[in-house]
């Protein structure tokens, strides 16, 4: 069933009682054209919000109790606002983590009822968790009249992910969910949060997401390790070049001088990030000039860097990229997001999609024993209220 504001509100009333009239908020997942593992290195990214989103319906209650219902699991979770802690079931953490961050920022919250639904595939690297965090935060901001800006919400949602999901992620996913603009990508500087919207005119091509259906269990710890390796590289460069704060400020020559002799693996990780930042800046120019094939070539280069230097790919992702690599109907393809599973993003000629999938789906099944899912993504607006705003002032 298609999720709409009216069926969210009706289901909320069924679950929680008719005296409550909820606020319904939609917050999207994201794709990222290029600029992977650059956000937590204070670099650049080129993401866009998509037409798959998390939805919440929220209304405050008079007590300290938070009651969440997750439609995907047909399950309730009840928590006390005064003792918020990460829990073993992963899904309540995205809501609880946000409430916890608001409390830590000094906001006086009351309890609330929340219905959660959505159509962002979970574990596919499309930021379903950021979508839930941003939807929740946006709704609580409205319902309790907290007057947070979208930029503040992006940071709070990121902190929630660190504290309650254990992933020391960058700000890209939350920023994109909150700031997305229909038919535009966001050229975002993750250090200053300066951004510009760049029109995404794909001229007969589409963004096709191919889902490996691999969910890697070690991805959170491997992600955090990559981040630590980057920080180690920065610390070594900083001993010699004090103004350096992040890989954003580091050059290839600095890495060769100060990191390579100490640890070739850390060098390799940092080198990928430094190269990727340059690639993104050029790719953004390609996009503005309308040179989609130059942009596409850089996406393949990014994949090779992520696979061979940063080592966050897996055989299934590599298979999907290699399968389309020499196909003239595919301008660019690469693994997307944190890695170790999830989706590849492909810029594919619209007319060729069906034929390509006809051969790819059985080939993938044969090579990996897994079935392939795919989505054709449209670029949509970021987080927004779907029902009228109702601010509680109590």
Residues in contact with ligand GLA by the rule CB under 6 A: 36-37, 39-40, 127, 169-170, 172-173, 337-338
Rank residues 176 and 268 by Cβ distance to ligand GLA and give the closer one.
Answer: 176
> 61: Cβ–Cβ under 8 A, 6 or more apart, which residues?
67, 110, 111, 112, 113
- Whether the CB-CB separation of 20 and 392 falls below 8 Å is answered with no
**Contacts of 214-220 spanning 24+ positions with Cβ under 8 A:** 214/314, 214/316, 214/317, 214/340, 214/341, 214/342, 214/370, 215/123, 215/341, 215/342, 216/314, 216/339, 216/340, 216/341, 218/340, 219/338, 219/339, 219/340, 219/341, 220/165, 220/166, 220/167
Quote the CA–CA distance of 236 and 121 in Å, as a whole number.
39
Rank residues 5 and 161 by Cβ distance to ligand GLA and give the closer one.
Answer: 161
Rank residues 81 and 172 by Cβ distance to ligand GLA and give the closer one.
Answer: 172
> Minimum Å distance from CB 214 to ligand GLA?
15
* Among 148, 154, 196, CA closest to 171: 154
> Minimum Å distance from CB 276 to ligand GLA?
9
Block residue for tokens 């935060």: 137
- Characterize 149-174 residue by residue with b for buried, 16 or more Cβ atoms within 10 angstroms of its Cβ, and e for exposed: ebeebbbbbbbbbebbbebbbbbbbb
Rank residues 114 and 172 by Cβ distance to ligand GLA and give the closer one.
Answer: 172
> Minimum Å distance from CB 142 to ligand GLA?
25
Which of the following is catalytic: 100, 117, 173, 318? 173
> Minimum Å distance from CB 88 to ligand GLA?
21
> Minimum Å distance from CB 181 to ligand GLA?
19
Quote the CA–CA distance of 185 and 316 in Å, as a whole number.
27
> Minimum Å distance from CB 173 to ligand GLA?
5
SS3 278: helix
Would you call 173 a catalytic residue per the annotation? yes
> 233: Cβ–Cβ under 8 A, 6 or more apart, which residues?
247, 250, 255, 259, 266, 267, 269, 270
Rank residues 22 and 47 by Cβ distance to ligand GLA and give the closer one.
Answer: 47
Q: Which residues are catalytic?
A: 173
């Amino acid at each position: 069933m298609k999720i709409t504001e009216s069926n969210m509100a009706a289901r909320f009333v069924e679950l929680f009682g008719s005296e409550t009239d909820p606020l319904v908020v939609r917050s999207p997942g994201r794709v990222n054209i290029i600029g992977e593992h650059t956000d937590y290195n204070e670099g650049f990214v080129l993401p866009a919000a998509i037409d798959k989103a998390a939805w919440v319906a929220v209304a405050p209650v008079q007590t300290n109790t938070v009651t969440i219902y997750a439609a995907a699991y047909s399950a309730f979770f009840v928590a006390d606002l005064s003792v918020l802690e990460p829990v073993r079931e992963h899904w309540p953490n995205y809501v609880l983590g946000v409430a916890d961050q608001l409390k830590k920022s000094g906001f006086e919250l009351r309890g609330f009822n929340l219905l959660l639904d959505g159509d962002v595939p979970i574990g596919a690297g499309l930021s379903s968790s950021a979508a839930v965090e941003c939807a929740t935060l946006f709704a609580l901001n409205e319902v309790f009249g907290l007057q947070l800006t979208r930029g503040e919400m992006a940071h709070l949602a990121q902190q929630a992910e660190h504290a309650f999901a254990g992933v020391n992620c960058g700000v890209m996913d939350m920023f994109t969910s909150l700031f997305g603009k229909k038919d535009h990508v966001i050229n975002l500087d993750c250090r200053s949060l300066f951004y510009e919207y760049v029109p995404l005119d794909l001229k007969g091509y589409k963004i096709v997401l191919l889902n490996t259906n691999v969910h890697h269990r070690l991805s959170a710890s491997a992600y955090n390790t990559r981040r630590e390796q980057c920080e180690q590289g920065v610390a070594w460069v900083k001993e010699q070049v004090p103004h350096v704060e992040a890989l954003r400020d580091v050059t290839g020559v600095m890495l060769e001088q100060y990191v390579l002799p100490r640890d070739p693996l850390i060098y390799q990780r940092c080198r990928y990030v430094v190269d990727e930042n340059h690639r993104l800046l050029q790719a953004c120019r390609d996009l503005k000039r309308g040179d989609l094939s130059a942009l596409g070539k850089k996406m393949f280069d990014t994949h090779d860097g992520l696979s061979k230097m940063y080592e966050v790919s897996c055989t299934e992702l590599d298979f999907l990229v290699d399968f389309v690599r020499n196909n003239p109907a595919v301008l660019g393809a690469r693994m997307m997001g944190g890695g170790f599973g999830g989706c590849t993003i492909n810029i594919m000629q619209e007319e060729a999609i069906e034929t390509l999938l006809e051969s790819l789906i059985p080939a993938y099944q044969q090579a990996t024993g897994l079935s392939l899912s795919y989505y054709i993504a449209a670029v949509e607006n970021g987080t927004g209220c779907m029902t009228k705003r109702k601010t509680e002032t109590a």
